[in-house]
Amino acid sequence: QAGLTQPPSVSQGLRQTATLTCTGNSNNVGYEGAAWLQQHQGHPPKTLSCRDNNRPSGISERFSASRSGNTAFLTITGLQPEDEAVYYCSAWDSSLSGWVFGGGTKLTVL
């Protein structure tokens, strides 16, 4: 089943801003938006933003999500070393009747 498209890697400097992208189509990202997940090596994923772009309790305001058409964005401000992780997006696909994930973006903080 087709997935969402994410760049494999992004690098940005300490205390800078990184913007990650997630591209789908009108049946998934463009339909109900995308959620964003953060995963550190050896740990389960953690939800940073739900499909409505709201942050779950306890998630830093440095993480903000948005959407334009069929592309979702995760912006991380004031990058910290602990932000180094793999970031995934996910969305419900109305044509597949299932969830689709992106391949993940590995964020490196320089």
Give residues in contact with another protein (CB under 8 A): 1, 35, 37, 39, 44-47, 50-51, 56, 88, 90, 92, 97-104
What is the rounded CA–CA span in Å between residue 92 and residue 84?
A: 26
Nearer to another protein, 85 or 100 (CB): 100
What is the closest distance, in whole angstroms, from the C-beta atom of residue 14 to another protein in the complex? 27
What is the rounded CA–CA span in Å between residue 24 and residue 55?
A: 21
DSSP SS3 for 107: strand
DSSP SS3 for 68: strand
What is the rounded CA–CA span in Å between residue 28 and residue 3?
A: 10
Nearer to another protein, 103 or 108 (CB): 103
What is the closest distance, in whole angstroms, from the C-beta atom of residue 50 to another protein in the complex? 5
Nearer to another protein, 51 or 67 (CB): 51
Nearer to another protein, 7 or 103 (CB): 103
- Pinpoint the alpha helices (H) of 13-76: 29-32
What is the closest distance, in whole angstroms, from the C-beta atom of residue 81 to another protein in the complex? 23
What is the closest distance, in whole angstroms, from the C-beta atom of residue 48 to another protein in the complex? 8
Residue pointed to by tokens 């069929």: 70
